[in-house]
Structure 1
């Protein structure tokens, strides 16, 4: 099993830029592989840019993974709220909950690439993203549950309703942490060090106490490069450089973020996040020593050492 009392591990399907080098993934087979290895969740990214960068629609991928599996959680990491009306997102989640027998975990965020062609074509580039996110999160549970809910000046009732899935609020900012307390069941930061997570956990507890709200769970998104070969080490170094360039992290900080190396090193890396307060970790697996499936198996061997 790849989960322990301290930490549960999910794996992200390779449905974005990986397509350029590896082709369209067999989503159903990959989702079953993740489930058979005992992982907690099949994770689906939502990142359509519209500039020729490859990506598959997150809702369709989630539906495919849901019908191909029986027990693993189907987790969005994350749905970008400002790109669609609340009623559209709610209708999709209702259908997915019924297709999956209530296995959906709804990670949401306000980020993405608002200046990209896709955002512009969707009419979302000029939306106030923070306001749109808050307004959607305020009405989404009622819409999913099938309750008569006012949104955008109209009362809507979707049927059949569904159980409201756990909602994880993505983002690393103070605003995202506050939003997680007020609207979410969990906080979903990405590409943070364990020390960053510990500081965020303390802030979550403080805001929850001030607001008289439950403390959200913590699910951390990151990357994994299993393996000990020179190729794997080079891939890790490339990933660290990417973190420095994209997130402005120092070399020391960036080097702490990937889950990489041997099974023992993978287990140790995961354990640092558990100690920092994370309940779950979701990992995009970067294959360096063979196929994606082999890399996921390597990750599973490391995660098993946590049990």
Structure 2
């Protein structure tokens, strides 16, 4: 989140415009409000800012934390952004990763039954966003207008059976992260098996990958050290689970994730010069565009 301080209030708009000019497919924002002084911008407002200064690029949430928002409010925010952006939203949701944090406690977000709450949200969001009368929990039916096209619904989760079955049963796509290609491949196979079991099409796989592009060994080491602890990965695994180096080297890593089953690869850019990282991500996108690789995005 260093880019928040480095770029200042104009940073989101500048980065979004640059991402569109660089040929990237999407920009994204994560829902990381912790409340302990960690720098983080609220993601719905951030994506609204990006929408206002762009025309083509998709607007990704990776992911909205279901426990921190009443479902009807989440639907109203997404419906409004979908309407104002002319249908560019792709809605990623998940159980959230910060239960017990000061922010979660302050807003009364529960740390239990998060999977059940996510299932309920995925069931209600399509009707609410489309403007159909929809019951929310045990409350009355709610009708939101103007109804819009329902954005693709994607779920962020790990590789547990419960998480993959949630995606296969209720979502259009899966948002994994912190996996090596060799870990991703069997998970994608299981996801497709579950989707077939439920009689649904195979979900899109949008692999979230932390990246340091270009020649920045210090930033790369810092990224690898942080992620090794967070995802409990070995030194070798963390290098396989991330992207770094020149656009040519990064394109090879993207190809490895594509071979493992990823339809898209979203970069979480951890390098020092964020805007230059966006430009380099555009170069990676251009290098893989000649074949049939996954699309690229930045968050």
TM over 0.5: yes
What is the SS of the residue equivalent to 1:114? coil
Q: Is the 8 A contact 1:17 1:55 kept in 2?
A: no
Give the Cα separation in 2 of the matches to 1:46 and 1:101.
23
Please give the alpha-carbon distance, in whole angstroms, between the structure 1 residues aligned to 2:88 and 2:234: 38
| Greater CA drift, 272-281 or 232-241 | 232-241
Question: 1:132 and 1:17 mapped to 2: Cα distance?
Answer: 32
1:236-292: per-residue Cα shift (whole Å, max 9, x none)? 12211212111111111111122111121011011111111111111111224xx31
Matched residue, 1:27: 12
CA contact (8 A) 2:27 2:57 kept: yes
- Uncovered stretches (5+) of structure 1, i.e. residues with no partner: 1-15
Q: Unaligned 5+ residue runs, structure 2?
A: 290-299
- Cα distance between partner residues in 2 of 1:71 and 1:243: 32
CA distance in 2, matches of 1:17, 1:299: 18
Match of 2:250 among 266, 286, 299: 266
- Secondary structure at the aligned position of 1:282 is classed as strand
Q: 1:149 aligns with which of 125, 128, 134?
A: 134
CA distance in 2, matches of 1:259, 1:26: 23
Indicate which of 219, 231, 240 corresponds to 1:256. Answer: 240
> Is the 1:40–1:73 Cα contact (8 Å) retained in structure 2?
yes
Which aligned pairs between 1:20-59 and structure 2 lie closer than 5 A?
Answer: 20=5, 23-24=8-9, 26-59=11-44
CA distance in 1, matches of 2:277, 2:133: 46
TM-score w.r.t. the length of structure 1 is 0.90
Matched, 1:298 2:285: no
Does residue 213 of structure 2 align to residue 226 of structure 1?
yes
Number of aligned residues: 287
Q: Stretches of 4+ moved more than 2 A in 1?
A: 16-25
TM-score relative to the length of structure 2: 0.92
In structure 2, what is the equivalent of residue 107 of structure 1? 92
| Structure 1 vs Structure 2 CA RMSD | 1.4
3-state SS of 2:268 partner: strand
For residue 201 of structure 2, what is the aligned residue in structure 1?
214
Instruction: For residues 85-124 of structure 1, give each alpha carbon's deviation from its aligned partner in whole angstroms, at most 9, with x where no partner exists.
Output: 1100100011001110000000111022011011111111
Shift in alpha-carbon separation, 1:111–1:126, aligned structure 2, 3 A: closer
Aligned to 1:9: none
Corresponding residue of 2:163: 176
